[in-house]
Chain A
Amino acid sequence: MRPVIKTDKLTKRFGAFVAANELTFEVEKGEIFGFLGANGAGKTTAMRMLCGLLMPSSGKATIAGFDVYTQTDQIKRRIGYMSQKFSLYDDLTVTENIRFYGGIYGMEIKEIKAKTLELLAELQLEKEAKTLVRDLPLGWKQKLAFSVSLVHSPDIVFLDEPTGGVDPVTRRQFWDLIYHAADKGVTVFVTTHYMDEAEYCNRVSIMVDGVIAALDSPAKLKKKYGYDNIEDVFYELARKAKRSE
């Protein structure tokens, strides 16, 4: 199978500071790929390069077969993105948000309408279709934001700390949505601070000081470092970090 995300020595420098150093990894189609690291380890920089928001300093990377240097437009059509900052318009209703994001991805109005019904049903938000997003509880907002990032059926979805500040029950439901998407063949690239979430991923990478310190399935990582949970593996690696925030 061809990898959906493929990077080769991808590097980003800000002046003398190397935020992300020679990242090399591949992510398969339909995989849930966890991206772990302490604050300032370079996660967000890496993710921004992959989304076409940040121009890499050197190295190679392709997303869905497109080059991050030259084909950002094609990349943007094939990815979804949900940032740690809440990304829906809170002065628009649920339906209006879906319609807007569907619209700017070039979907037909009919298509959007069908998709809207589908999403609302999936999220059980039919009754709130005309509610302003600002009046929704945070958990629902996050679930909605995730669904909206999938509205144009992207190949890959990037989730930047999607479950910050959400209660455990909702987090669980959120991960159900993620599994559901992955089952349908969407590749999920997710950063998180919750180590239990890391266990849900097919594979995880742990970044320390701008480099990938470890990359494997949670089970193999635990075995390799001799701990019985990812949290301890993470501490072991992160302790060695020289730079902090």
Chain B
Amino acid sequence: MKTLFFLLEKEFKQLMRNKGVIRTLFIMPAVQLILMPMAADYSVKNIHIAVVDNDHSTYSQKLINKIKSSGYFTLTGYAPSYKEALVLVEQDKADLTLHIPAGFERTLVRENTEKIYVAINAISGTKASLGGAYLTSIMQDFNNQIRLQWLHGTPDNTPQVTVAPYYWYNPFMDYHLYMVPGILVTLITALAAMQSAFNIVAEKESGTIEQINVTPIKKHIFIIGKLLPFLVLATLVFTMGLILARVIYGIVPLGSLVTLYLSLIMYLFAMLGLGLLISTYSNTQMQAMSLAFFFINIFNMLSGVFTSIDSMPLWAQYIVETFPPSHFIKIMRMVVLKGSGLGDITYHLAAMFVIGLVFNTWAVLNYSKRS
């Protein structure tokens, strides 16, 4: 235990001496946590629409006005034909086109039914599906309106089911509420897995590890001494993140802080284990960086911060289940936004613990003082 004290003392002194890196480790997450949630906003507002109105009737005008005033769409312009509207899509000037065929109003009145053509640039998935959904619901609304008029104001005598949505936990559909906790996790991820790996590898590279190996210091004490400072550092950055989330975005965790910090420690147990594992496979900082980058990048993309895990194919969901961040991101969102308690997140806590156990055991087995 006493040797651990000296080891920790040394690690902290070295960390604190490296002012540049320490500053970056706090400033970078802070800046990113403040700015990045503003970028991660799915609420689709400016859908650019190109309109081909070949009818020029009252109905077509009314429909176009309704779309324009909905607040979701920006009219890029009118195109004389579908072909020309398509050019606007190709140039990314329009995300979708609305084509009202010639004689629309006449056909609608005469035959009681007529089509409207919508073409959506489906490469950017979210915009496409949301834009399409908005547009169809506007058209449906319009449809009901003209029907009422058609029936000369008499109350619609057809039965109608309406939907009354209630949005729990986030009634104003504020995206920041959802993104800030997730982004905080990705910032912690990079810090924990990468810096701990570098730290151990740097000692290999400089040769001081050789000196440590001839001392009677125990393997596990050395590892704890190496990882504990990063646990502290990550906890500090996490705390700073929670404070920033509160000050800048007004996000106050609904659940208990004890639950949050307990989960954080479990998460760091897993991620520092990964850092340790990476360090045992690397002889140079370059290798450690390459490996760390590999995992961190995959974690960031697949752990559900920006894309939904539920939309993935089943096999991918199983893979993602082995990524510690996917569990911690879920926990953060559940505890912060919904006030979930320990009982609700048991599964995720246990999963992180098991993953952490695997990483750490593997690393310790692989980290040999004596070959």
Contacts and interface: CB of A to CB of B under 8 A. Distances in A.
B215 A53 contact: no
Contacts of A90: 206
Given A54-B371, A87-B207, A106 B2 contact: yes
B208 A53 contact: no
A104 B371 contact: no
B211 A73 contact: no
Interface string A75-97: 01101011101111111100010
Contacts of B211: 81-83, 87-88, 101
Contacts of B5: 103
Given A87-B207, A88-B208, A54 B6 contact: no
Contact of B217 (A51, A104, A158): A104
Given A92-B13, A104-B3, A106-B2, A86 B214 contact: no
A55 interface: yes
Contacts of B92: none
A55 B13 contact: no
A207 B217 CA distance: 31
Nearest to A103: B6
A227 interface: no
Contacts of A101: 211, 215
A103 B5 CA distance: 8
A167 B212 CA distance: 27
B68 interface: no
Contact of B216 (A73, A92, A132): A73
A156 to B, nearest CB: 11
Give the interface size class of chain A.
20 to 34
B276 to A, nearest CB: 19
A43 interface: no
B213 A53 contact: yes
A30 interface: no
B210 interface: yes
Contacts of B220: none
A98 to B, nearest CB: 11
Interface in A92-137: 92, 96, 99-106, 132
**Residue from B3, B6, B214, B369 having most chain A Cβ neighbours under 10 A:** B214
Given A54-B371, A76-B216, A87-B210, A104 B14 contact: no
Most central of B2, B207, B211 by chain A CB within 10 Å:
B211
Contact of A87 (B10, B13, B208, B369): B208
Top 6 A-B pairs, shortest CB-CB distance: A103-B6, A85-B207, A87-B211, A81-B214, A76-B216, A100-B10
Given A103-B3, A105-B216, 16 more contacts: A53-B210, A53-B214, A53-B369, A55-B371, A77-B216, A81-B214, A85-B210, A88-B211, A91-B17, A92-B13, A92-B14, A92-B17, A96-B13, A99-B6, A102-B6, A104-B7
Interface of A: 51-55, 72-73, 76-77, 79, 81-83, 85-92, 96, 99-106, 132, 158
